[in-house]
Amino acid sequence: MAQTHHIVVALESFFVPIPPLDLPAPHTYELQEYSRTRPDQVAERIRDADILISTIVPITADVLRPAVSPRLKMVAVVASGTDAVDLDACRARGVVVANTPHCNTVAVAEHTVALYFAARRSVVLSHALVQAGAWPQSGTLQKALNGPDGKPPKTCRDETLGIVGYGAVGKVVESMAKGLGMKVLISGRKGESTAPEGRTPFETLIRESSVVVLCLPRSPGSLDLISDAELGAMKPYAVLVNVSRGLIVDEKALVAALRSGRIAGYATDVYAREPASAENSPLVGPQTEGLNLVTTPHVAWSAESTNEKFHRALKENIAGWLSTGQPKYPVV
């Protein structure tokens, strides 16, 4: 690589601060850092970039055109998912793409368990009722914890937890769930009547689990994975936890299922549109009042150890690409 001085543009250091990159000699760099970047600002900001660091802002085929980003050679994604980057456009142009996998595995798994308990124990709903003054009015709020079947919540040793998405996060969730005394099922692919050894057919898992955890990547095959049919097949005391990506759950169908008592609760860290608001999400706003719904703002990944691992993987990707032409965690 003849070029030794590189312009590095970081578009979203709000999420994870950019560490010193420690480039191998004789390489040097100039960092242009932005806390947040709107989609309409991307083209202007990456015009001189040799290396682009991003997280969730869309890197589209339009901004990847040589006329818009003529110097661009590498996109370093500080996240596991790369669905915000047009990989086909990068591949066609020869732009290297790297991600930072498994950095947030433990944090996301722990957040998953937290969401499970919050939904199973109706923590958010109970909090809202207490704050609204409902406790002295009724004398007890015990029924707020009951499922649509009218029964009190299950404890861990009576739960069957079904995991859809058996990657790094799914494996840690499995270990944690077993440690809590749960029976664990691992899902096969949707639409297949049989599953490999050690897996349970998707439709069977949906019917038999009292807790369903979604921790799979978003792909064309996983869109609306959970919709009316699946929600209707779940047990009335089932809790659904989503730490995957938006659009995997049909949110309107989900709210309808909660309101009609087809499932007991939903806890999610991800949304079809983000940032979620009353203007763009059925999961936010007055229409959700009284539902056992737990919402967190796509922060399951956040932890001190996550940032440390992101920093290490980002530096290894860029240094590896400069040294050998291959980042440590290549995507394209």
Is 45 labeled as catalytic in the residue annotation? no
Of 203, 274, 312, 316, the catalytic one is 274
Closest CA to 6 of 27, 24, 25: 27
CA–centroid distance for 110 within its chain: 13
Is 120 labeled as catalytic in the residue annotation? no
Q: How many CB atoms neighbour CB 166 within 10 A?
A: 17
How is residue 24 written in tokens? 């191998």
Q: Which residue has the tokens 């967190």?
A: 296
Confirm if 196 and 175 have CB atoms less than 8 A apart.
no
Of 6, 199, 298, 311, the catalytic one is 298
Q: How many CB atoms neighbour CB 19 within 10 A?
A: 13
**Helix (H), strand (E) at residue 255:** helix 251-260
3-state class of 137 per DSSP?
helix
Q: Per-residue DSSP letters for 290-319?
A: TS-EEE--S-TT--HHHHHHHHHHHHHHHH
Q: Per-residue DSSP letters for 109-135?
A: HHHHHHHHHHHHTTHHHHHHHHHTTHH
Of 245, 251, 262, 311, the catalytic one is 245
Is 274 labeled as catalytic in the residue annotation? yes
3-state class of 105 per DSSP?
helix
By annotation, the residues acting in catalysis are 245, 274, 298
